[in-house]
Amino acid sequence: MTTSRGETILVIDDEEIVLSLLQRSFERMGYRVIAASNGAEAVEAFREHAGEIAGVVLDLTMPKMSGEQVFDALREIDPMVRVILTSGFSEQESISRFGDRSVVGFIQKPFRPLKIIEKAKSLFNLRDGS
């Protein structure tokens, strides 16, 4: 099993068990994780750490701010931010809610943590450790 060289991932999900599972899974692979349980917290964390964050794993449906609102706020801070969207809705339904805004990937819930890590490694251009 390969590990990272410490890149930072922002994980946003209002379900505590999902957030915790993703955080532990990414950390086991050597990534630094900033975890946010709602959109407002996520935007603040991204603003504070934008230069360090390799990519974002974003839940579509959350309280306080929707996934679309969070995505737009992150794009205002960094127009090149890479976002993988997660949702219990289908990919077509979820992505259609974003209109012409582009996310780099989608994972439907429920998912296996290793699947999302592999997708993140590919889409965020994360490095493997040696």
From edge to edge, which strands make up the β-sheet containing 32-36?
Answer: 32-36, 8-12, 53-59, 83-87, 105-108
**Residue 125: per-residue pLDDT:** 80
**Tokens representing residue 113 in the block:** 């943590």
Q: Mention the CATH class of domain 8-123.
A: alpha beta
Question: Model confidence at 130, in pLDDT bands (50, 70, 90)?
Answer: very low
Contacts of 30 (CB under 8 A, 6+ apart): 3, 4, 5, 6, 129
**Residue 2: per-residue pLDDT:** 47
- Per-residue pLDDT tens digits for 1-55: 444 567 999 999 999 999 999 999 999 999 999 999 999 999 999 999 999 999 9
Domain boundary assignment for the chain: 8-123
- Per-residue pLDDT tens digits for 104-118: 889 999 998 889 889
CA dist 74 and 17 (Å) reads 24
Work out the average pLDDT over 95-102.
Answer: 76
**Residue 59: per-residue pLDDT:** 95
Work out the average pLDDT over 81-109.
Answer: 86
Count Cβ neighbours within 10 Å for each residue of 90-101 and write b for 16 or more, e otherwise.
eeeebbebbeee
- pTM value is 0.89
Find the largest Cα–Cα distance for the chain: 41
